[in-house]
Amino acid sequence: MVTPAHFIALAVILFVIGAVGVLVRRNAIVVFMCVELMLNAANLAFVTFARMHGNLDGQIIAFFVMVVAAAEVVVGLAILTSIFRARRSASVDDANLMKY
Amino acid sequence: MSQHVLLASPAAQITRELAFWILAIISVAAGLGMVLARKAVHCALMLAVVMLSIAVFYAMLGAPFLAFVQVIVYTGAVLMLFLFVLMIVGISAADSIIETIRGQRLWAALAGIGLLVLLSLVVGHAVIGPATPNTRAFGAGNVNSLAHLIFTRYVFAFEVTSALLITAALGAMVLAHRERLTAKPTQRAMARDRIASGRPTPLPGPGTYAQHNAVDMPALLPDGTPAEISVSPVISGVLQPPEQPAPGGDTASELPALEAADTEPEEARW
């Protein structure tokens, strides 16, 4: 019997994988992908809670998260391409001009 | 309520359970693969696997609308955008394995384990009840119920979303726009450069012989010597390691570099 607890556990595991990816990877695009994985894990938890409580508010929140994530990806990738154009690198270590 | 009866039948239960476990294993494995894969394209494909399995989870949890939105928006639009940017940035941009911060991997792994323990404790303490009985809102009437909620209780958030999307589109256009620093070359200027380069004709094609009929075979000049410029630098770069990598990434700027030594200085493109 698959209960909502199973889905929550899966969401936790996926979220942690995404968080470790953000910490470990240095290609900025892959870091973005890991952020997307974390957002997806949070969405899975929202939809599971909606199913558990029997109302649709969780699904609405997940829908809005998807919209915000799409906007974030568009702006983030535009920033990445302009950084790559200026510096010929997509590594997060190379963009360090504003370091003190 | 026939759907409810269908879901409660033992065969449907077993199918549901089987689907969950198979997809859970696949999605966790793909997530780990995404973190561990060296090449960014492999990461993107792994992420596609995770997102498609999450779409199936949404369908299992009574969210058919979100399942389709997940496939269309995430797998269709967002991941394709990732792949487009990967093509722009360069497909060979593999992560270096040298740690710039000492012990970064170790501390990241420790932080990950700590986060996992913390979240597991939180979830373990929370009371996660069973799923409520299936209603129409989680089945055939899902889209109608969601639309009703969006246009009544969440209408303000929905309107703000439109402002966000317009801002994002505008920001992407402004960020991705590039000012042209030099004047656009006219046809006259291009023709003049072509004559001045010493080779007004197109490059010769590769050799076609009785035994070798391939694009990697150089053509023979009238005196019998092979013409190296008849082979595309992309192909000769694949077959043998390039002696000096060209500073520019694109083949258009590499072509004049491989020609005779008296060519015009290569223009700085960036």
Cα–Cα distance for residue pair B146/B156, rounded to 1 Å: 15
Cβ neighbours of B58 in A, within 8 Å: 44, 47
Determine the angle formed by the axes of helices A57-87 and B142-150, rounding to 10 degrees.
Answer: 80
When pLDDT is averaged across residues A70-76 and rounded to a whole number, the result is 92
- Label residue B240 by pLDDT band (50, 70, 90): low
Rounded to a whole number, what is the distance in Å from the CA of A13 to chain B's nearest CA? 7
Mean of pLDDT values over B81-102: 74
- As given in the structure block, the two tokens for residue B228 are 């190296």
Least CB-CB distance to A85: which of B43, B119, B178? B178
With a cut of 80, say whether residue B155 has pLDDT above it.
yes
- Angle (CA) B31 B18 B15, round 5°: 135
pLDDT tens column, B182-207 = 888 899 999 999 899 888 888 877 77
Question: Percentage of chain A surpassing pLDDT 90?
Answer: 57
- A46 to chain B, minimum CA–CA distance in Å? 10
pTM: 0.75
Report the C-alpha gap between B116 and A10 in whole angstroms: 11
Residues of A in contact with B96 (CB under 8 A): 26, 91
Apex B81 CA angle, B161 and B31, nearest 5: 95
Least confident segment among B92-106, B158-172, B239-253:
B239-253
pLDDT per residue over A15-36, tens digit each? 999 999 999 888 888 999 999 9
Q: Is B260 within 8 Å of B198 (Cβ atoms)?
A: yes
Calculate the CA B141 to chain-centre distance. Answer: 35
Collapsing DSSP to helix, strand or coil, B125 comes out as helix
